[in-house]
Amino acid sequence: MSNKKKPKYEKIADELRERILNGGYNVEEAMPDEIQLAEEFEVSRMTMKRALEILVLEGIIYRQRGQGTFILPSSFSQGRINVLNKESQGLTKLLGERAVRSEVLQFEVRFPEAEVARHLMIEKTDPVYEIRRVRYVDDEPYVIEHTFMPSSLITGVTREVLDSSIYRYIQEELGYTITSSHKMIRADKPNQWDHEYLGNEETDPVIEVEQVVFLGNGKPFEYSFSRHRYDKFVFTSVHIGR
């Protein structure tokens, strides 16, 4: 399959991760040292280091100079391996089972302001979609999304697409991969839209996620602001190692 393109260090990391989670090594004592492992897998020491580095970053093992490499028991107790900083998956996939519905408030094509063009790395003369949606989960208003996308990159968006899932369209119809995102999370006072669509009172804060999302080729395709009710949204972030 796609196995052949994986570099050695990833394949070794996969194998070791498997062994560790299946109890292949004693949690109490050190794992074999990197020289032994390099010999076993018939790679150089540097390559083995790189494989082990992945597991360190995943929070599965812990290495200490002069002592050895140890398994971190918390990687079991946390109920599975920690997938790093969560999703760039989109809301629809994120919530899985639950009923997600969208109401489109705005959908047009226009020229971007300087700020939008800058974040999307496009010219001010490149048109963008501007989209506002309210998204409901189990018929409760969950978030107001205000989104900009370059229309030359994300082509053929229709109201029908907006009614369901943009991300699914981008990945399945357009065949792009979504790989990274930059988020800024802040609190804010509610504005008129929040009041109207999220049902916020004057004193109910909102939490806003501003983000730029990138495709596999490094091009940003989404610049958006998502505003949530303070009492219905928590942003979770796991950071491991250095």
Q: How far is the CB of 115 from a copy of itself (least distance, A)?
A: 11
Q: Is 212 in the site for a copy of itself (CB under 8 A)?
A: yes
Which residue, 69 or 75, has its beta carbon nearer to DNA? 69
Question: How many Å apart are CA 19 and CA 10, to the nearest integer?
Answer: 14
Q: Is 24 in the site for a copy of itself (CB under 8 A)?
A: no
| Helix (H) or strand (E) segment spanning residue 166 | helix 166-168
Task: Give the number of residues written for the chain.
Answer: 242
Residues in region 200-229 near DNA by CB under 7 A:
217
> Which of 23, 24, 45, 219 is close enough to bind DNA by CB under 7 A?
45
Question: How many Å apart are CA 201 and CA 208, to the nearest integer?
Answer: 16
CB-based contacts of 81, cutoff 8 Å, min separation 6:
17, 21, 58, 60, 75
Question: Is the C-alpha dihedral spanning 75, 79, 80, 83 positive or negative?
Answer: negative
Residues in region 42-71 near a copy of itself by CB under 8 A:
59, 62, 64, 70
> Which of 1, 2, 3, 5 is close enough to bind DNA by CB under 7 A?
5
Which residue, 75 or 102, has its beta carbon nearer to a copy of itself? 75
Q: Is 139 in the site for DNA (CB under 7 A)?
A: no
Q: How far is the CB of 215 from DNA (least distance, A)?
A: 11
- Residue 187, both tokens: 């609190």
Q: Is 46 in the site for DNA (CB under 7 A)?
A: yes
The answer to whether 135 and 167 are in contact (CB under 8 A) is no
What is the C-alpha radius of gyration for the chain, rounded to an integer number of angstroms? Answer: 22
> Which of 4, 5, 159, 239 is close enough to bind a copy of itself by CB under 8 A?
239
The strand pair at 140-150 and 178-188 is best described as unpaired
Give the binding site for a copy of itself (CB under 8 A).
Answer: 59, 62, 64, 70, 72-75, 77, 80, 83-86, 88, 118-119, 121, 179-189, 202-207, 212, 214, 216-218, 220, 230, 233-242
